[in-house]
Chains A and B, each alone.
Chain A
Amino acid sequence: MNSKGTQSKEGGNTMTLKRWTLTMMTTGLIGSMLLTACSGNNEGKSVGNSQEGTAPPASAGSASIASGGDGTTTDPTAEPLGKYDPPIKLTSARGVDSTYKYEAGDDLEHNVWTRAYQDDLGIDFSYDWTVAAAQYDEKLNIAIASGDLPDMFTVNATQLKNLVDAGQIADLTSSWDQYATDYTKQIVTEDGGHSLQSATFNGKVYAIPNTLSAVDTASVLWVRTDWLTKLGLSEPQSLQDVLTIAKAFATQDPDGNGKQDTYGLAVHKNLWDGWAGLEGFFNAYGAYPQIWVRDEASGQLAFGTVQPAMKQALADLQNLYETGAIDPEFGVKDPGKEGELADKFGLFFGKQWAPISPLQAAKNLDPEMDWKAFPIYDLNGQPTKSQAKFPVQSYTVVRKGYEHPEAAVKLANLFADKMFGPDMEPSKYGTTADNIEVFHAAVAQIWPNSQNQEAQASISAALNSNDPSSLTPALKSTYDNIVKFRNGDNSTWAFERIFGPVSSQSVLNQYLEQNLLQNNEFFGAPTPMIGSKQSSLDKMTLENLTKIIMGDASVDDFDTYVKNWSNLGGADITNEVNEWYAAQ
């Protein structure tokens, strides 16, 4: 019986050979595609603008029709916070973080925010897909290229430009003008309108900029104060003091264990960003690496990394490295790895949050350890401007063809309103009494610039008066943490150093008051040359600067590097950026 069945199968084989081949071909094709999936890391990145016309078919004209398309009554709907009746459907996509917490029984799609969208705005909100935050861009690029877009989603500057060029997203100009509340407009244009300008192409607004605080990205100087006391040094008044202290920390055995195992200045292999970037160090010399600043002599924008002011700073870094004040292995350590030395170095230029990570872990083991934040001074002790990042790192956009593009503006209104506006209920929508950060679940988030500095001011005031009654739950929990530390619990030390009376936030407050921030003057969409050259130029920069700091190249090699930078595309980028600047 068995053999009979086999025979008939064989007979059929030649007959259906053609079909079989076809099937095999399809299978093979799928296979070969998956092959690239494995190595598809880079492919996904540049496909954004190649798929014009693949956007879901819909009447293009409907993009700017504000309301009334489906017979809804215009009146309540047309309000900035008006409710849709009947409710509309809105799908989105987002990156999630495993640290997001929700109230009991809630999840990403069912929480205070989605209920507010439903009840207050009549928006039936759901996610087409979610992905781990670090992979959001990759996944979105695939969705963009295959034309499979959610109704509303978040993009970065490059994706925004590509989507605008490909005509895949809706023009939000009229929605913005008509629906944004004054308060929303105030938050978004707080920085002089640059944020909104970066979302505007040919005079049309295509996105809501998700503003963050620029000042929070500036560097402060962190110094280990218990070592200062131990070595009988005074607090730094100028960069010259900082250099002296760094060398003293490395050579005079501040931890008293009789070994040469301490360092002055913490540096990691990325040089920029992370808890100990070198931006602040260079800022002290009037150099502003990796951002565009206006050159007063020519009136043109210039890239900070290749300016002559860098040279003196590099020479001093080289000198620090030579004297052993910098970890000799910094060139291979990422910020996390360098952070493991938190009990071995005594100085760094870093972010306001550094006490949380990596300092707190070291503090837990060594209760004697203490740090203090200082503003950045130049060599003569004058305050110097610290560089800040552009406050918009992502944009909320609406796909072309979605019937209610203004819904995105309404969602931003709602966020501003519930979080900071006249109707704010931060304990319900921001951080709950149980210290659950429910605001993560919101979409179209817009944050005001000086949020944290105001928080620091009110927490300090409450600490002075011993009266936390006026604080919101989020601030109250920080307040409690500081009180806990003051009563002897070292595990909450970091909060005192960030939000206490003398803290990183108080230094940032000083920056705001004395106008000590240097913003990136270029905030347009990435130019074509930036798209094609920037990453290789950045790599070259990193290699060259690291070599100079480690003494493998002399400081004069900086000039060669600048020449190479210019020849390898830097000059073209500068031209493009200045064309953009002239058009502003």
Chain B
Amino acid sequence: MRSNMSISRKLFVSGNYVFLTLLAVLCLLPLVHVLALSFSSSSAAGTGLVRFWPVDMTLSSYRFVLDKPEFLLSMGVTVKRVLLGASFNMLLIILVAYPLSKETKAFRLRTPLAWYFVFTMLFSGGLIPLYMTVRNTGMLDSLWGLIFPTWGMGTNIFNIVLMLNFFRGLPKELEESGVVDGAGHWTVCWKIIVPLSLPVLATVALFTIVYHWNSWFDGLIFMNRTEHYPLSTYLQTILVQDQLANVNAQDLASLQEVSDRTAKAAQIFIGSLPILLVYPFLQRFFIKGIVMGSVKG
């Protein structure tokens, strides 16, 4: 096969490889830079000596970060939030996607309901009504405020569409075989459809986990205490600072902290490590074609 390639084809393929490798390197370099910063001394970082290799190698930033109560607290909030929030979202996504994957004959309201969901992807009540809803349901400043409201996020609707399309692609005969044996919708959904949908479940789970890990704005507006912030909100607050427009001499202490790039780099890195580790573990579920050959005759 390789020998069949024409010169121009070979050029094209190798050009592709070079281009994609460069692209991958471009994506990796900022990460490497942050990693190098986190292992460098703060004087070296402050004067811009650090490129892609640590200068004055030290672990002091990591020691500083791991001793920092705010960081660990927010890490705890995020872990709870991801576990609870992602499972909650997954459950609801499956429960919505399953009926919507049926044909109109079997479920008369399918089309209007589907449109109803799509509508919410495009239009919303806005920030203030959302805030008031969360406030009036007593979820302000509690972990639930980070979990329940996320259900209606646009990404979830997208996930529903993804999942219901996968459900539809499954052979109808599988479901029918279950119904013949006396299974109702509940059994069909959980015993037949869901176990067959591992690839899409893994994809959607990844999306929801990453979403919960990354979202910071809800933490900012729904949490009334900085110690209740999830990790992403906490990181956001330490990385985005004022341009020091109105610094008075009484703020000298905060100024000294501003130049603390190495600690920030360490926090970014520790903060993103767990979510990076999730990818390889979910990867093994991305297997295609497992339903091939399940229908005979």
Residues on A lying within 8 angstroms of B by beta carbon are 2-3, 5-7, 9-10, 17, 21, 24-25, 27-38, 40-41, 43-44, 47, 96-99, 101, 128-135, 138-139, 142, 145-146, 148, 212-213, 216-217, 270, 273-275, 334-337, 339-343, 351-353, 356-358, 360-362, 364-365, 389, 393, 437, 439, 447, 451-452, 455, 498, 505
| Cα(A24)–Cα(B151), bound, Å | 11
The reply to whether the CB of B38 lies closer than 8 angstroms to some CB of chain A is no
Complex contact A32–B152 (CB within 8 A): yes
Collect the chain A residues with CB atoms within 8 Å of residue B217's CB. Answer: 37-38, 40-41
Complex contact B244–A146 (CB within 8 A): no
Residues 242-278 of B, flagged 1 when their CB comes within 8 A of A and 0 if not, give 1111111111111111110000000000000000000
Complex contact B249–A29 (CB within 8 A): no
**28 sampled A-B residue pairs with Cβ under 8 A:** A2-B187, A3-B183, A27-B152, A29-B120, A30-B149, A30-B151, A32-B124, A32-B154, A33-B125, A33-B129, A35-B120, A36-B124, A36-B126, A43-B126, A129-B141, A138-B221, A142-B127, A142-B128, A146-B128, A274-B244, A339-B46, A340-B48, A342-B47, A353-B252, A361-B46, A362-B46, A365-B47, A498-B249
Complex contact B47–A34 (CB within 8 A): no
The reply to whether the CB of B135 lies closer than 8 angstroms to some CB of chain A is yes
Q: Identify the closest chain A residue to B245 (Cβ).
A: A273
Of the candidate stretches B109-117, B192-200, B279-287, the one touching chain A is B109-117
Collect the chain B residues with CB atoms within 8 Å of residue A132's CB. Answer: 220, 226, 229, 237
| Cα(A270)–Cα(B238), bound, Å | 21
Complex contact A28–B116 (CB within 8 A): yes
Q: Which of B43, B109, B120 contacts A361 (CB 8 A)?
A: B43
| Cα(A439)–Cα(B186), bound, Å | 62
Majority secondary structure, B binding face:
helix
CB A435 to nearest CB in B, in angstroms, measures 9
Contact flag A131-B246 (CB < 8 Å), given A36-B126, A37-B130 = no
Q: How many interface contacts (CB-CB < 8 Å) are there between A and B?
A: 223
Q: Identify the closest chain B residue to A277 (Cβ).
A: B245
Complex contact A389–B242 (CB within 8 A): no
Q: Which B128-146 residues have a C-beta within 8 angstroms of A?
A: 128-133, 135, 141
Complex contact A216–B70 (CB within 8 A): no
Q: Identify the closest chain B residue to A436 (Cβ).
A: B253
CB B217 to nearest CB in A, in angstroms, measures 6
Collect the chain A residues with CB atoms within 8 Å of residue B204's CB. Answer: none
- For B, the interface residue count at a CB cutoff of 8 angstroms equals 73
Complex contact B152–A28 (CB within 8 A): yes
Residues on B lying within 8 angstroms of A by beta carbon are 42-44, 46-48, 70, 109, 113, 116-117, 119-121, 123-133, 135, 141, 148-154, 156-157, 182-187, 215, 217-218, 220-221, 224-226, 229, 237-238, 240-259
| Cα(A29)–Cα(B137), bound, Å | 14
Complex contact A145–B128 (CB within 8 A): yes
| Cα(A130)–Cα(B70), bound, Å | 14
Collect the chain B residues with CB atoms within 8 Å of residue A21's CB. Answer: 109, 113
Contact flag A134-B237 (CB < 8 Å), given A9-B186, A447-B250 = yes
Q: Identify the closest chain A residue to B238 (Cβ).
A: A98
Collect the chain B residues with CB atoms within 8 Å of residue A35's CB. Answer: 120-121, 124, 152-154
Among A25, A38, A358, A452, max chain B CB count under 10 A is at A38
Q: A24-B113, A31-B153 are in contact. List 11 more A-B contacts (CB 8 A).
A: A3-B184, A5-B184, A33-B130, A34-B153, A96-B226, A98-B237, A131-B224, A275-B244, A341-B48, A343-B47, A362-B46
